[in-house]
Every structure is written in structure tokens, then in C-alpha cells.
Amino acid sequence: MTDGMFGAKGTGDTSGYGGLVRKASTAGSSERPYGSYFDDVADDLERAYPEFSDAIERVVVDRGEITLHVKREKLVEVALILRDSLKFEMCMGVNGVHYPDQTGRELHAVYPLLSMTKNQRIRLEVSVADGDAHIPSLVEVWAGNNWHERETFDMFGIIFDGHPGLTRILMPDDWEGHPQRKDYALGGIAVEYKGATTPPPSERRSYK
């Protein structure tokens, strides 16, 4: 169950302050044929990377997209093969996701990849435990991930080992906690403007 999610029924409140709950489901492993160009990507990766079966935990095709769930210790190897052999030249960044109910896999890092050569898109996903939130940095593979990894560290607390300067990018350096995690307290701090003060979200409206 996930609190405060968009899509909850029966009210227009999607802020989370009303204590809304919506069931969240996780897609299971997909079976071949995957459809579209997804089978070609999987075949090409298996040919280029003999350790495919050991590195990929599962392949999920859902809502017209394919996601390769990669073991974190194999992430850099898989990324290099995808970039150099399968021509996924661009990583669009990395997004953090927090699933508090997935014991031992609470934090996920999701990497959308684009092949400009083939006009194809896939995703990589790595899952780690909250108490061991370390994932290898991909800055050396795709340099554009630098600031994205810093933002994911800042907002979710995922530590990207090998990053050249893993510091907060949005919040002050001494900020406590990671604001986009689901266990982060709702509320906020007042924002001061010239001649006016905007109260934090938790004080702008009450929900009964």
C-alpha cells in the first residue's frame, strides 16, 4: 500500500495530507516473445555479453516499455556493452524510487537509455537495501549522469560509488533526510520572499 499517491479514488486530494491509500502492484518477469524491437535488444545483449543470465535478474515488459533489472555489481559492465556494442549512446539520467514495503530492495535506481542510431529506448533498474544503498556510478560511462546522480543522492539517499563529487545539489549540505523518500515527513518550511512569507504546504490547508 502506498500513501498519498495520485490515482486514489473518492476525493480530489492528491497531496497526501488526507491519508489516502492506493494499492501498488509490481510487474513480474515477462516471457518471450517480448514484442516490438525488445527481442532484438535482448538477443544482441546476450550475444555481446556472455554473462547475461547472471547479470540480469529479470526482464519486464509493461505498458509498452522494457526494463532490464540488473544486479548492481554488474551494472557498469552491462552499461558499457549497451553503449559500445548495442549503440545506446545516451543515458537520460537516473531516477530514484522508494518502495518501503520491499524489504531488502527498498531503493531503486532507474536509468532510461536512448539509442539515437537505432531510435530505440530501454530502461535499466537496480534495487538495493535501504541499509546498503550503494550503487556504482555511471558517470564514467555516460558523463551526463553527473548531476542526475547527485540529485538522486540528495533526494533518496542512494550513494553512487565512484562519483567524482557526490554532494547535495538541491538541498543545503547540512540538510537532514532525503525529501522524496516515502518515509520523509510531510510538511515543509516557510519560504520568505521580499515583503511576504509563504507558509509550508502542511499549513496552507487542513484536511478532515
Beta bridge partners of 96: 109
Domain with 133, as residue range(s), is 28-203
Which cell numbers in the block locate residue 75? Answer: 551494472
Number of compact structural domains in the chain:
1
Instruction: Please give the Cα distance from 145 to 151 (Å, whole number).
Output: 10
Which cell numbers in the block locate residue 24? Answer: 501498488
pTM, 2 dp: 0.81
Q: What is the CATH number of the domain that holds 97?
A: 3.30.460.80
Residue 8 lies in a domain: no
pLDDT tens, position by position, 112-166:
999 999 999 999 999 999 999 999 999 999 999 999 999 999 999 999 999 999 9
Task: Specify the DSSP element, H or E, that contains 170.
Answer: none
Instruction: Please give the Cα distance from 154 to 113 (Å, whole number).
Output: 22
Q: Are 69 and 95 in contact (CB under 8 A)?
A: no
